Structure 1
Amino acid sequence: MFTATALRATDKAEQYAELAEQARGLLHGEHDRIANAANLSALVYGALPELNWSGFYFFDGTELVVGPFQGKPACVRIALGKGVCGTAATERRTQVVRDVNAFPGHIACDAASRSEIVVPLFQGDTLLGVFDVDSPVPERFDDDDRAGMEQLAKIYLDSLRGDR
């Protein structure tokens, strides 16, 4: 049975390295996208401070549909190109939004969210979905978070293929 341990490091890069190690252990040997998304969402939500949402939206061939998450109820469907999640999916790059109120077309699923980071999930050229994390704190996310979240997203994608 996997047991998450508290992050010991105080430096963000070190915290993400510890979190990545925990994620690898948690997802090891499991290849189901829903199970791994649920566990990774819970791990991130419980380990990182100042979050109010952590989860996945999966692409159904037309739009992004909410998947496993931790936090308050979420928007169920997001069109490609709309909001931070839809933008990350269409631009194929991580979106770090320091102030969601300044992001054109931001979709406010939770009015308490003030900053957001969204990592697109691609297997080759195929859009799988996005990994989305919100915070009630303005300017919560920076380039260290981008690198850390992208690493966690890679661990997730690798788990689906069984790559370790």
Structure 2
Amino acid sequence: MAEDLHIITDISKEEQYRSLIPQIKALISGEDDQIANLANISAALKEQFKWFWVGFYLVKGDELVLGPFQGPVACTRIKKGKGVCGASWEQAETLVVPDVDAFPGHIACASASRSEIVLPVFSNNEIIGVLDVDSEYLSHFDDIDAKYLKEIVNLIDA
């Protein structure tokens, strides 16, 4: 297990992901506690990218329940199909939202959040949760984020 991250910020976003992913693999390697791994993934992403909020919601029955995260306090429970997280869960796909105020039914857990990306997290071909990342800037997330964050959430089931 790695004990520290090597954060590099003066490179492209894609290079930052390429540098971070092996470090996340090392962080979670050999640890079978899912909560510990999700907590470290959240912390690593927050440290590298300085996003407003990054964390996981976990499927519990018919709701997503707040899991490990980094950032301000958040909504505790989200129904399937509600908000960006619930929509990502229901549609089983990554959602990139350039302006959360334009997303129908957006749940404003924090008024400072302006854009968002949410990815479903799979285990044994079932959605077990979502990775939710918020930015205080409009149009902050793109296909590069979607590609590399998918690689990261795929590590959870590895």
What TM-score bracket applies, with the shorter chain setting the length?
over 0.9
CA distance in structure 2 between the partners assigned to 1:24 and 1:98 by the alignment? 29
Q: How does 1:39-78 map to 2 (within 5 A)?
A: 39-49=40-50, 51-78=51-78
Q: How does 1:10-159 map to 2 (within 5 A)?
A: 10-49=11-50, 51-158=51-158
Call closer, same or farther: CA 1:9–1:59 in 2, change over 3 Å. same
SS in structure 1 opposite 2:93? coil
Higher relative contact order (CA 8 A, sep 6+): 1
SS in structure 1 opposite 2:20? helix
SS in structure 1 opposite 2:152? helix
CA distance in structure 1 between the partners assigned to 2:122 and 2:11 by the alignment? 31
Call closer, same or farther: CA 1:16–1:109 in 2, change over 3 Å. same
Q: Deviations over 1:41-75 (max 9, x none)?
A: 011011114x1101000001210000010000000
2:8 aligns with: 7
SS in structure 2 opposite 1:81? coil
TM-score, normalized by length of structure 2? 0.95
CA distance in structure 1 between the partners assigned to 2:25 and 2:10 by the alignment? 18
CA distance in structure 1 between the partners assigned to 2:66 and 2:80 by the alignment? 13
CA distance in structure 1 between the partners assigned to 2:29 and 2:142 by the alignment? 28
Q: Which runs of 5+ in 1 are unaligned?
A: 159-164
TM-score, normalized by length of structure 1? 0.92
1:161 aligns with: none
Say if 1:20 and 1:155, in contact at 8 Å, map to a contact too. Answer: no
- Identity of matched residues, %: 46
CA distance in structure 2 between the partners assigned to 1:3 and 1:151 by the alignment? 21
CA distance in structure 1 between the partners assigned to 2:28 and 2:141 by the alignment? 25
Amino acid at match of 1:120: P
CA distance in structure 2 between the partners assigned to 1:79 and 1:26 by the alignment? 31
How far 1:101 sits from its partner (Å)? Answer: 0.6
CA distance in structure 2 between the partners assigned to 1:8 and 1:54 by the alignment? 18
Please, what is the CA RMSD of the aligned residues?
A: 1.2
